[in-house]
Structure 1
Amino acid sequence: MEVTRYEQTLAGHDGLAAAMAVASAQARATVPASTSHEKAIRDIAAGVAAPVLVGYVIWLLRTAQARRLNRLCFLSRDAQVFSEIALRLAPRLGVQLSMDYVYSSRRTWSLAASDPYELEKADWLFNSFMRSNAADVCARLGLDIDEWTGTLAAAGASLSPSARADDPEQNAALRRFVATPEVAEAMRPRIERMRQLVRDYAIQEGIASESTGLVDAGWTGRMIGALYSVLTSVDLPVPQTFFWGHEPRASGWTDPKLITAYMYNTVAEPGVQWRVPDVPYIVETFCMADHAIVSGYRRTESGRIEAVLENTNAPVSAWGFDVYRAAIYAFCSALSLSHVGEDIRPVLSSLLSDFWITPTEQEAAAWGAYPYDSDPLGRATLPLARALSKQELDPLLNGGGMFDQGDRAWLQGSLALSGPAGRQAAAVLSPQYAKLGSPATD
């Protein structure tokens, strides 16, 4: 089997990186791929995703052990794969911790932390990769839009699905809508009920403890800030939090005493030297889960709190979830752990950059087809990359002007699918790609 370019990068280093090159090759030899689509999924899983995820989990387990934590709680859905990797590696690393997979979502925790009389300040209602329209805002609040069309119209909000909160007028109108007394009074009991459910669930699962570490992929910290608000409002203890990467913004939350990041942190150590442009899109894709988004919690007859969710994720399953996870697990089984103390973040950054910024057409076709969705309710699923037309690229190619990548999360993957014009555009953008700005998703 031919060595991949990612295995060549890993093999160019000693210790853990070299061991990862061997594990990648063995994983590819172990996991069958019957189509070019499956082959691209498997090869990127083994050569890029597995090193990136496993490197984080090794650091996580060793850090949690050093801090004498008793429990790690892996947050759904992004941390599902971290949980599976940790369960496989912890015994081999001699790490003894209680590890649990717990259910959370931006909708439930953010709603629990909201003030019903200041919903116009709740940015989570309006922001995501695809900015909210009127139906999205109602759905995030749990309101039937058909019962609120009059109030929306009175606030000046458009009911058109294409009218979204990235338009200043629609944004202002939606904020006027949620600020109305009618919405506040409708939401007050819903928020109070969700707040109590989140608190009880946090106690039940051992989340509300200073000796617990929460594990997630990361980003703005808003969800953790929401949990912090819900717990501290009744003097419950708060856990430590571990992120793969952290980039808080004005609408996010951070606390250097509570949040520790592995690859990068835009406001603290380790800084941004290993940050790859648009990296949240990559890692969220690598952190695909096999179940749907948590839409709420319910209390059973026994008094326990259960998450409300669908136990399937059909679009991701159809894309190739089983092949992807099989390659991750095969990598874990094959990996030698004799050099786990080494810092391989520079190598991981290189792998991510090579894949994300210079994908092959085959890689872009397979991974660009991934059904990406950063919306809190899963209402905006789109392919990670789609080809751009020559007309869309002309502003860039004829004079160096910019173009609108629209709802394409993976710019370079989209260009790789766009033929000669796309390759020309990629060459034009390459020197400035790192300056294109932070991704819109939060």
Structure 2
Amino acid sequence: MDKNVSKKIKYYGKILKRYQNVVDFYTSSQKLLKNMPKNLSYEDSVIYETSVLVTAPVLVSYVIYILKDAQRRGMQRLYFLSRDGYIMYKIAKVICNKYKINIDCRYLYVSRLVLREPIYFIDKNEAMKYFCEYGVKVSPKIVLKRAGISCEMQGKILNEIDVKFKEKLLTKDELIILREKLKNNECFIKEALEHSKSKYKIIYEYFVQEGLTENRDYAIVDVGWLGSMQRNIRQILSYAGDNRTLCGYYFGMFENGKVEDGDYNCFYFSKEFNSSRRVFFNNNLFECMCSANHGMTVGYKRNNNNSINAVFSDQELKWNVNLQLNTVEKFTKLFVSENEWNNIFIDKLSNLTQKLLKSFMMFPSINEATVYGSIPFADDPSESYMLNLAEKLTNEELWQYNIFYKIYRNIFLNNKQIKYNESFWINGTIKLSNISCKKLFNLSCLICEYLHYLKLNKVN
């Protein structure tokens, strides 16, 4: 075994052993490492070890927090939102079955795409912000695709508002200009409204079918970040006259949810609770740790028996998602056989999680950066493009993350927006790059993130 790989595995093991008196993840992890399947490929061995030592302990900790708190509140049902909620749903089912927890765990097929499509019908201004949301490779064509505009009509609309390049990648400022042009285009308004109205009708009927309008206490479960999915669910229900107060569980939140959208309960960090943890956290990598083995929900269809089923995008699995899912589920089954429910206390679980995630996310080994960095990832709700999580960047592109370059740009370039290629996991990209002084460069990126965090807290 490679010395650096062995060192990282031992480090994770020491963390789990140190917290053994709080919750015993150590015994389950060691059993699975000892019985690691033979003849795994290089990539699969990294996924297996990371799943056993990081992914499973972190996600099981989060689900324990959810179930303990839901029990305390008397929740009758939990809706785990696809796709990030899939593995958490599987974990919750194992835990509830073993410990006889009387909470109905369900899996709700949604996505940012299908939840945002009806919003133009409800609130045009808010929907326009979603359509023109920034991403690393957002073009005018992608903006119109988010709004449900057909390929045939895209050219007509862009010609009318004098946009010549459908595939041009847009900066944040250019997206604002495009948004203002589209807001006043009659053809866009007509097409977007018709599309949104039809999408509202069927998603609301799906919500009714799945019990979201029933008179019972329930909460939704997701990874978090901005709270838009809970907001959109609330808007869809509220438009039909269902003004219940929603409750949501989230791993972390970068922003506070709006009061009208209900309660947001965070396990790892929020604006008010352990907010500095976001500096050492990468939400894109975390979403890969929560990957499902089915495509994104892109719509719904009514079957012959009048039930409504989700429609998925085609998904070509380019990494062994099933190995991660199966390993985490095996870990959970071992874990519940080693631990008594009443002896698990949630107050230290987030501290354990922090130690594991900080090492994995901010200071990855070359193996972790290579394997997890090659996972296809999209920041676009329509998944119109996919890039490697740790995209390889040129030295010039890497320098945009350096604190000294940012100071220079702010002083001499008036912070002018320049469209560079970006990385969804910059710490992984640095590890894979040929740049010198990687540790110093990594530290510089962390300082930038910390200064950004301080700026946000000062503003808010």
What range is the shorter-chain TM-score in?
Answer: 0.7 to 0.9
Partner of residue 244, structure 1: 251
Q: Is the 8 A contact 1:221 1:254 kept in 2?
A: no
Please, which of 408, 414, 419 is the counterpart of residue 423 of structure 2? 408
Distance 1:188 1:392 in 2: 39
Amino acid aligned to 2:405? G
Which one-letter code corresponds to 2:423 in the other structure? R
Preserved contact between residue 80 and residue 287 of structure 1 (Cα < 8 Å): yes
Paired AA for residue 68 in structure 2: R
Matches of residues 31-430 of structure 1 in structure 2 within 5 Å?
31-32=36-37, 34-115=40-121, 118-119=124-125, 122-127=128-133, 129-130=135-136, 132-164=138-170, 166-209=171-214, 210-236=216-242, 237-248=244-255, 253=258, 257-266=262-271, 268=272, 270-310=273-313, 313-314=315-316, 317-335=317-335, 336-338=338-340, 339-343=343-347, 344-393=349-398, 400-402=404-406, 406-419=421-434, 421=436, 423-429=438-444
Q: Deviations over 1:157-182 (max 9, x none)?
A: 34342332x24235312441244122
Whole-angstrom CA distance in 2 between matches of 1:383 and 1:328? 23
Say if 1:125 and 1:132, in contact at 8 Å, map to a contact too: no
**Aligned Cα RMSD in Å?**
2.7
More helix by share: 2
Structure 1 pair 98–394 and aligned structure 2 pair: CA distance change class (3 A)? closer
Question: CA 1:272 to 1:320, structure 2 compared with 1: closer, same or farther past 3 Å?
Answer: same
Distance 2:383 2:173 in 1: 24
Please say if residues 75 and 214 of structure 1, whose CA atoms lie closer than 8 Å, have aligned partners that are also in contact: yes
In structure 2, do the counterparts of structure 1 residues 135 and 8 end up closer, same or farther at CA, with 3 Å as the change threshold? Answer: same
User: Stretches of 4+ moved more than 6 A in 1?
Assistant: 394-397
Alpha-carbon deviation of 1:145?
A: 3.0
1:23 is aligned to 2:28:
yes
Q: Match for 1:296: what amino acid? A: G
CA distance in 2, matches of 1:26, 1:329: 14
Q: Aligned partners of 2:387, 2:163: CA distance in 1, in Å?
A: 25
CA contact (8 A) 1:416 1:422 kept: no
The 8 Å contact of residues 252 and 270 in structure 2, kept in 1 or not, is answered as yes
Provide the rounded CA distance (Å) in 1 between the counterparts of 2:281 and 2:205: 36
8 A Cα contact 1:120 1:178, kept in partner: no
Moved more, 109-118 or 59-68: 109-118
Under a length normalisation based on structure 2, what TM-score does the superposition of the two structures give? 0.85
Classify 1:431/1:409 alpha carbon distance in 2 versus 1 (closer, same or farther; 3 Å): closer
Deviation for aligned residue 1:16: 3.7
Q: List gaps (5 residues or longer) in structure 1.
A: none
1:378-433 deviation digits (Å, cap 9, x = unpaired)? 11211111334445456888x94349973211111111111452625435516615
Residue 58 of structure 1 deviates from its aligned partner by 0.7
Does the CA contact (< 8 Å) of 2:80 and 2:220 recur in 1? yes
Q: Alignment length, in residue pairs? A: 428
Q: SS of 1:15's equivalent?
A: coil
CA distance in 1, matches of 2:399, 2:187: 48
Q: Does 1:13 align with 2:34?
A: no
Task: Report the Cα offset of residue 121 of structure 1.
Answer: 5.5
What letter corresponds to residue 99 of structure 2 in structure 1? Answer: L
TM-score by length of structure 1 reads 0.88
